[in-house]
A = this chain, B = another copy of it.
Amino acid sequence: MLLRGCVQVYTGDGKGKTTAAVGLSVRAVGAGLRVFFAQFIKTRESSEFAALASLGGHFCLRRFGRGFIRGTPSQDDIMAAQAGLLEAKGAMLSNSYDIVVLDEINVAVSLGLLLSEEIVQLIKDRPECVELILTGRGAPEDIIAAADLVTELREIKHYYHKGIKAREGIEY
């Protein structure tokens, strides 16, 4: 159990935000902590989650996004994100998890699926013993202000620009 949880944000345009949250999760499960990992936006199957679930610890993955959204989000997209936020809040308050990850939540805000005020309220409602991890590019100022730790991942160089496509085991 965590005695003192914090709020961590991983933002910026560089590769590694979700990956850092996955790394934190494996470390936490390895230390006997319980992790609730909520994915907003992304829905592609990704190799790490089967591995994390197989660790035999307490790891729960939930996916609320309806895939990458082009153009204006539909009412269904908004409802999926809102349902996700509610469930994540429930998990945070349930006393069943030490760490709650809101993966790509910043993107859900940028897309207008959620309001940053709703996320700030969730941060305010956080029990002291829960660690909150928020990821996604474009973290709004009020979320950054409410966080204890903020890391910006900056893309200095990316092989996408060389035409290398996403590879199984590396990007997903």
Which residues of A approach B to under 8 Å, CB–CB?
A: 2-4, 6, 8, 10, 12, 14-16, 18-24, 26-33, 46-52, 54-57, 98-99, 131, 144, 147-159, 162, 164, 167-170, 172
Contact = CB atoms under 8 A, between A and B. Distances in A.
Chain B CB count within 10 A is highest, among A23, A24, A52, A164, for A23
A50 B24 contact: no
Contacts of A144: 156-157
Contacts of A19: 19-20, 23-24, 27
Q: How many copies does the complex hold?
A: 2
Chain A at the B interface: SS class: mixed
B4 A26 contact: no
Contacts of A52: 26, 30
